[in-house]
Structure 1
């Protein structure tokens, strides 16, 4: 199953994405991921959700090849709406969400981890937004939750990556561990949270969301407006075609 779930005996649900070769999710998968995360949180037996992935990396964003092989704007709209749904699901999940990240976390992956409650990463994992190189915008809202404002701008404009070790120094990544220990580390943190009174933890998740200084959903929607403008102008297609052509060589 491309999106699968496993449950431990202490109320921890692991949601795993597996879309070879790089976990670039097609439009429908973003909606499936959103539904799966929300359903896990709505289950009163769930105390914590872990978001993980199989393969070379955690998430490579949207499937650009799908977008460029589809006539009209259906795939573009689906990808944008699907990403918004998945990012919101992580944020709105009734219980804490721990992102267990390895390899790379780029594009839409930043939206997922930026809205997660805790991030545990494998050594050497890189995080980044290549959006400007793809003629698109988005997830600056979420990158801003990981790094200081001026660094966010520098990373956004240059499309450069930042490592898990650097993010750990900023405090946005909670732990960095060898890749073979990643799931165990995430389960350890999840177990500590799961041992608390889930009624209190669920209230705490709602309370923390309600005191956030930025409405992440509205902020991301505003970013998407500029993405649509670039698409209507034809700029985004130029960059996506170049990306697909380069990958085909």
Structure 2
């Protein structure tokens, strides 16, 4: 059975379930390759408008596969291969939502930090425990947490490897919302369906501008926003959206 299961819960929404329950969904190289292939395909198929990634009730993903890491050497080609999933998520054009129950540790936390929206069950645990096994985060954990939570929270948790409860993760800016454990996936799917019904070009533009603007000066980021805003006036969806509002009807966005 595949290490990532794909489902279509509603129109325009894809659900990807990490499927290594025997290893708490540890991110093996084969799982990363499969996830990268699916993200690349779904992000470019013209039909998928939102992607939800989840695990199971025990773990979103408990980190990298330590059995694989034990045999890795400093110049191992596996380091390059391991980045394929992160590169696919970075390049994905559609919003990606993480629905998290249980552990999101190490690479699992970094996977969540690569997503656009993070919905955490109240029992979820985040963290970067790599220092406890003599290594450090290597898929953006220190830098993405730094940008989301600031220097002092990042140092507090990256230097100790302590776990972060879901409510604290929300307060730190590592997660969007904390909900009851049984509501994490349903709520994420509801948000995905809501996004999928909106104008995909506008949604993609918002994602791009937020992502690029985060590391730009305010003047540069505002310029990016203005340019993207004006370009949307060339789309049919703009006419449909405003027309539907004025006519008091539900819009039908086609992505044109």
Q: Which runs of 5+ in 1 are unaligned?
A: 215-249
CA–CA separation in structure 1 for the residues paired with 2:108 and 2:75: 18
How many pairs are equivalent? 211
Q: Which runs of 5+ in 2 are unaligned?
A: 217-256
Q: Is the 8 A contact 2:105 2:129 kept in 1?
A: yes
1:103 Cα deviation after fit: 0.3
Residue in 2 that maps onto 1:73: 73
CA deviation vs aligned residue, 1:4-31 (integer Å, no higher than 9, x gap): 1111342000111111221112222212
Q: Is the 8 A contact 2:11 2:196 kept in 1?
A: yes
Q: Is the 8 A contact 1:27 1:75 kept in 2?
A: no
* Superposition pairs of residues 99-178 of structure 1, within 5 angstroms: 99-138=98-137, 139-178=141-180
1:163 Cα deviation after fit: 1.0
1:91 Cα deviation after fit: 2.5
CA–CA separation in structure 2 for the residues paired with 1:82 and 1:207: 28
Q: Structure 1 residues 161 and 77, CA, compared in 2 at 3 Å: closer, same or farther?
A: farther
**CA RMSD across the alignment:** 2.0
Residue in 2 that maps onto 1:211: 213
CA deviation vs aligned residue, 1:137-156 (integer Å, no higher than 9, x gap): 22212222442221101111
Q: Which has the higher contact order (CA 8 A, sep 6+)?
A: 1
SS at match of 1:151: helix
CA–CA separation in structure 2 for the residues paired with 1:165 and 1:76: 38
TM-score w.r.t. the length of structure 1 is 0.78
CA–CA separation in structure 2 for the residues paired with 1:95 and 1:135: 36
1:55 Cα deviation after fit: 5.1
Larger radius of gyration between Structure 1 and Structure 2: 2
Q: Which of 145-154 and 14-23 deviates more?
A: 145-154
Residue in 1 that maps onto 2:252: none
CA deviation vs aligned residue, 1:137-191 (integer Å, no higher than 9, x gap): 2221222244222110111111111111112223442221222222110011112
CA deviation vs aligned residue, 1:188-230 (integer Å, no higher than 9, x gap): 111221121012112222222222318xxxxxxxxxxxxxxxx
1:87 Cα deviation after fit: 2.1
TM-score w.r.t. the length of structure 2 is 0.76
